Amino acid sequence: GSDNIIAFTTERFPNPLIVQGAGAGAAVTAFGIFSDLIKVCERFDVSSAKI
C-alpha cells in the first residue's frame, strides 16, 4: 500500500520533522488531519485560524 508522509517546519527548528506511516486512503487521511488541526486550534485557542 501507500504511506502518508507529513513534514513540520517551524521558525525555531528549520530542519523538518518527518512523520510517516501506513496510509488508510485519501478521504480517511484528509478527515483525520483536518480533525487533528481543529483540535490543535481549540487547544491553543486559535480563533482566527484559517483552515
Model pLDDT, residue 48? 63
Print burial letters for 20-50: b (CB count within 10 Å at least 16), e (below 16): eeeeeeeeeeeeeeeeeeeeeeeeeeeeeee
Model pLDDT, residue 2? 83
Give 1-51 pLDDT, tens digit per residue: 788 898 999 888 889 999 999 888 888 888 998 999 999 888 887 776 555
Number of domains in the chain: 1
Model pLDDT, residue 44? 85
Model pLDDT, residue 51? 53
Euclidean distance between the first and the last CA atom of the chain, given in angstroms as a whole number: 29
Model pLDDT, residue 15? 94
Query: The whole model's pTM is what?
Result: 0.51
List the domain range (segments joined by +) for residue 33. Answer: 3-43
Residue 23 within any structural domain of the chain: yes
